Structure 1
């Protein structure tokens, strides 16, 4: 039995669907709420849905659990409640790690590229463990993910008992189906497609970095199916352990993305620039690009989908269909 925390969310529900298609028995720990998250599971319901507050007791009563994919977190980059974020993103992760170590259960968890903070050059996105203390996240969310990564390394350094397999994945800018409940945190691809459908120009933030032209802010955008392929590969390769980046290794500009959305939607390219909201200034990553060498060295060799192909797949196979869910 495999447990997926956050399994009704974006990446978690896509993973849930893939695991069920492989015949795995799965349990989701999440709240469905009232934002339609249940639709993320409508095509592949798990055996059970466990409220997060009941997860610890569930685990103690179910020794048949073989792996935990820990995707659940407060992922809003503008979150300000430090106590709640620490409790949800750090303390719960520590408890799950400790339980997996005690019971011999594999543990694969979501870290984040937000841990890299204001990094702006390719060499600054190294996932090497000895570079961890050099990182300076820009927001509370990124700091909480970084804090847990550091805690994990501390456990290893003091030779505390660890899960038989453990992997942290630093997700970069993921897009794809089942993200529709995320509100302001929805991917730029979905946001720009909604603008196209309304007939409005695609709006991009003006650059707040001196010398960087508008629209040239660049991110490592990765299709959700590629992210889940990495996680399934890890499940099939239990000897792989470590903290790894999970992106494509290619940075693409927001203007590239806007043009890809227009092209896939079959409309004329039409982009305008607007001022960046005050609350994002000083916390906005103008460049991200995953250094993927360590994951490749561990044996992962599958190609990642290009931005143009991924955007076209998202729009044509999901967003423009009557049921946009995976």
Structure 2
């Protein structure tokens, strides 16, 4: 059996769908459906069972899975709201919970692959190479992720099974409707252009011109592929960047969406006061360690990925069961 926490979420549901595409359905999905929107991400997936995240935590604390053949745990579940400032809440959800799942996996020697975040690089002043020299946090979400990365680095030497952390950069693609304001810029722009004919971007800030802030945008299919590659190839334990290594401007993102839709134009708006000092104006993964681990399957070309995503949204925006 494969366990996917956050399996009703954005990256988790894409991971389950790709496992389905590869003929795997013996999957336990762990999540929390209370917001009433992410359950739609499950409708197109094949899996053996679902468990609420709190019940799952009780199960692993009580060792109820003892004797169950668990092949791997993909820990994608977290609170990813960068505007949530309740630090205690973030630490319970993203740090303490993750520690419990990690120690369960270590005890039973189950491969454990988890979602970290490029937000752990803070403003990026020191670069984007894995390790303490470059890492920082601009908000409670980033701090909860950073602290877990540091904890993982301490326990990896004593582990007898695979532990992989992937620092996701700016992920976009199918099944992110439920994320609302936290959905990718591509989803936001798609809706803006269809509703108003305008792709709205931030004006210049932090030394960048209008729409010239740059991010390492990575297609969710590639994120899934990196996860599955590490598991299948038994890649070396560690924490790795998961990004393309090539940043694109928000102007380029908007232009790609407009080109794929065949309509729209860019409009700039004032940079929000609430984001000043808490915003990453530039991200670009250093892929050196990922490549040294042996990953050689590349990333989808930028405009190709955006066009495919726009076509997916045009067709309804959700996975279809059995297809």
State the partner residue of 1:95: 100
1:260 equivalent in structure 2 = 256
Higher mean alpha-carbon deviation, 298-307 vs 73-82, is at 298-307
Kept in 2, the 8 Å contact 1:28–1:48? The answer is yes
Kindly indicate whether the alpha-carbon contact (under 8 Å) linking 1:217 and 1:286 is maintained by their aligned counterparts in 2. Answer: yes
- Secondary structure of the equivalent of 2:141? helix
Give the Cα–Cα distance (whole angstroms) in 2 for the partners of residues 57 and 106 of structure 1.
20
- 1:74 lines up with 2:109 in the alignment: no
Alignment deviations for residues 148-186 of structure 1 (CA, whole Å, 9 cap, x no partner):
011111224xx4x32500000000000001000001101
Deviation, 1:15, is 0.3
Q: 1:217 touches 1:253 (CA, 8 Å); kept in 2?
A: yes
TM-superposed CA distance for 1:96, in Å, is 1.1
- 1:170-219 deviation per Cα after TM superposition (whole angstroms, max 9, x unaligned): 00000001000001101100100111101332110112213x21111000
The Cα of 1:323 is off from its aligned counterpart by: 4.8
Structure 2 CA distance for aligned equivalents of residues 114 and 29 of structure 1 = 24
Equivalent residue, structure 1, for 2:4: 4
Is the Cα–Cα contact under 8 Å of residues 207 and 215 in structure 1 kept in the other structure?
yes
Distance 2:79 2:179 in 1: 11
CA distance in 2, matches of 1:113, 1:5: 20
Shift, 1:23, TM fit = 2.9
Matched, 1:39 2:36: no
Does the 8 A contact of 1:120 with 1:286 survive in 2? no
Assess if the C-alpha contact under 8 Å between 1:39 and 1:325 holds in 2: no
Whether 1:303 aligns to 2:308 is no
Rounded to whole Å, the distance in 2 between the matches of 1:134 and 1:230 is 22
Shift of 1:99: 1.1
Match of 1:280 in 2: 275
* Structure 2: gaps of 5 or more residues: none
Instruction: Name the structure 2 match of 1:247.
Output: 243
Partners of 1:73 and 1:275 in 2: how far apart?
31
Measured after TM superposition, the shift of residue 306 of structure 1 is 2.1
Cα distance in 1 between the residues matched to 2:252 and 2:225 = 25
Q: Counterparts of 1:207-246 in structure 2 under 5 Å?
A: 207-210=204-207, 212-246=208-242
Any conservation in 2 of the 1:107–1:163 contact (CA below 8 Å)? Answer: no
3-state DSSP of counterpart to 1:182: helix
Q: CA deviation at 1:16?
A: 0.8
Give the match's secondary structure for 2:178. Answer: coil
C-alpha distance in 2 between matches for 1:168 and 1:281: 29
Residue 129 of structure 2: which of 126, 130, 145 is its match? 126
Structure 2 partner of 1:198: 195
Query: Who is 1:169 aligned against?
Result: 166
The 5 Å alignment of 1:16-31 reads 16-24=16-24, 25-31=26-32
Distance 1:151 1:249 in 2: 26
8 Å Cα contact 1:113-1:171 kept in structure 2: yes
Normalising by structure 2, we get a TM-score of 0.93
- 8 Å CA contact 2:44–2:318 kept in 1: the answer is no
Which of 232-241 and 145-154 deviates more? 232-241
Instruction: Report the aligned-residue RMSD.
Output: 1.5
Residue by residue over 1:53-87, the C-alpha shift from the partner in whole angstroms, topping out at 9 and shown as x without a partner, is: 11134342222112111101110111111111001
- Structure 2 residue aligned with 1:291: 286
Give the Cα separation in 1 of the matches to 2:136 and 2:179.
26
Structure 1 contact 120–287 (Cα < 8 Å) conserved: no
| C-alpha distance in 2 between matches for 1:256 and 1:120 | 23
Is this contact kept in 2: 1:215–1:254, CA < 8 A?
yes
* 1:219 and 1:253 in contact (8 A); partners too: yes
In the alignment, the residues of structure 2 paired with residue 100 and residue 303 of structure 1 have an alpha-carbon distance, to the nearest angstrom, of 29
| Residue matched to 1:148 | 148
How far apart are the structure 2 equivalents of 1:322 and 1:153?
Answer: 41
The 3-state SS of whatever aligns with 2:197 is coil
Q: TM-score, normalised by structure 1?
A: 0.93
Check the 8 A contact 2:82/2:140 in 1, yes or no: yes
